[in-house]
Amino acid sequence: MFQGIKNKTKISLLIAVLLFSTKVSTAFFGKRQLDFSGEKEVILSDNGLVYQSVKTKALTVKEFIQENKLDLHEEDQVYPRLDDVLLPGTNIQIMRSVPVEILVDGGRIQKRVFAKDVTEALGEAGVSLAPLDKINLTKSAPLVSGAKIEVTRIEIEDVEEEERIDFEIKEKEDPKVKWRTKEIKQKGIAGKKIIKYQITYKNGEQVSKKKVSEKITQRPVDEIVSVGTKVTVGKTQAGRASWYAHTGTMACASVKFPKGAWLRVTAKNTGKQIFVQVNDYGPDPGTGKIIDLDKVAFERLAPVGAGVVDVKVEEILE
């Protein structure tokens, strides 16, 4: 640019000298007309590439461009102006624009720029980058015609969220509470905690959420539940128990006790106990068995391969 200004000053001085010489000559010899139609030498700087001592007979810059078949885009810049007279030693400077496409903030910018690298191109297009923003090309990479520049906006935000801490339920057997009954002795209270997250956004969309820290502001209080074990026994029965696959639950078949009744069954050889509910009628008469246990219930007293086990059956009164 400074070279262009210097050259412009030289040209202006040359024109002034020529005009002065013309006036002097006119004063002594009459009117005289300047003629620059002859061959002259000029300097051409085409987008930074300099050609010294270019010979031409062109009268104007435009004619020189046409004479040398220099293709120009309407947005390219030429100095001096196209209609300026071409003088010997003129430095013709051509600055060529290149098309670029910029994808940024959900939009598309198509523009011709004079930038030398990607950073300059973004600046000419009025696109500014924040410290965390990313682009798909190296910032200092030389700009090529048709370059496609994609800008990814990166934002990082620190947020705090309050979250609930569930309380634990702890059950304790209580011989004073009726069997199959539960009583809440201490009500549970949920706790609270503050969690700090670092959230990353790309082009406005959340892509990650990282936990940074956690602070408990209120500790939870356990809920204490008494589980009744107190049993009132009604009718009893002793004999052999067998098994059958029926519902896959803690159930049984009985002839003596009605459907829906709860029974406590104790294995005589081990003392193991289970509670089962009558949901079927059986065993068949004449088998010598007093109760048929569902398979899952029988397995808690004896191996299934044993087939039968001696038990004591007690009716639970509710």
Q: What is the pLDDT of residues 167-212, one digit of tens each?
A: 999 999 999 999 889 999 999 999 999 999 999 999 999 999 999 9
Residues in contact with 230: Cβ distance below 8 Å, sequence separation at least 6, in sequence order: 174, 175, 176, 177, 178, 179
Residues 296-300 have a mean pLDDT of 96
Mode of pairing for the β-strands spanning 205-218 and 191-202: antiparallel
User: In this predicted structure, what is the pLDDT of residue 115?
Assistant: 94
CA-wise closest residue to 61 among 94, 89, 86: 86
Residues 246-255 have a mean pLDDT of 94
Burial class from Cβ neighbours inside 10 Å (0-12, 13-18, 19+) for residue 120 reads middle
Q: What is the C-alpha to C-alpha distance for residues 231 and 302, in angstroms, rounded to an integer?
A: 24
Sheet (strand 191-202) strand order: 154-165, 191-202, 205-218
Cα atoms in the Cβ-side hemisphere of radius 13 Å centred on 123: 10
**2-94 belongs to CATH 2.60.40:** no
Q: Which ranges in the chain are annotated with CATH 3.10.20?
A: 2-94, 98-152
Please state the pTM of the whole predicted model: 0.57
Residue at 307: amino acid letter = G
The second-level CATH assignment, the architecture, of 231-317 is Beta Barrel (2.40)
- The domain defined by 98-152 folds into Ubiquitin-like (UB roll) (3.10.20)
Residue 187: both structure tokens together: 């009500």
- Helix, strand or coil, per DSSP, at residue 117: strand
Q: Can you give the length of the chain in residues?
A: 318
Distance of CA 191 to the CA centre of its chain: 30
| Helix residue ranges per DSSP H, 239-294 | none
Distances (CA, A) of 215 to 156, 165, 166, 189, 191: 21, 11, 15, 18, 11
* 129 or 6, greater pLDDT: 129
Q: What is the pLDDT of residues 89-143, one digit of tens each?
A: 999 999 999 999 999 999 999 999 999 999 999 999 999 999 999 999 999 999 9
User: In this predicted structure, what is the pLDDT of residue 59?
Assistant: 95
Q: Which ranges in the chain are annotated with CATH 2.20.230.10?
A: 156-227
- At 2, phi and psi to the nearest 5? -65, -35
Q: What is the DSSP code (8-state) at residue 305?
A: G
- Helix, strand or coil, per DSSP, at residue 140: coil
Residue 113: both structure tokens together: 């720029």
The second-level CATH assignment, the architecture, of 156-227 is Single Sheet (2.20)
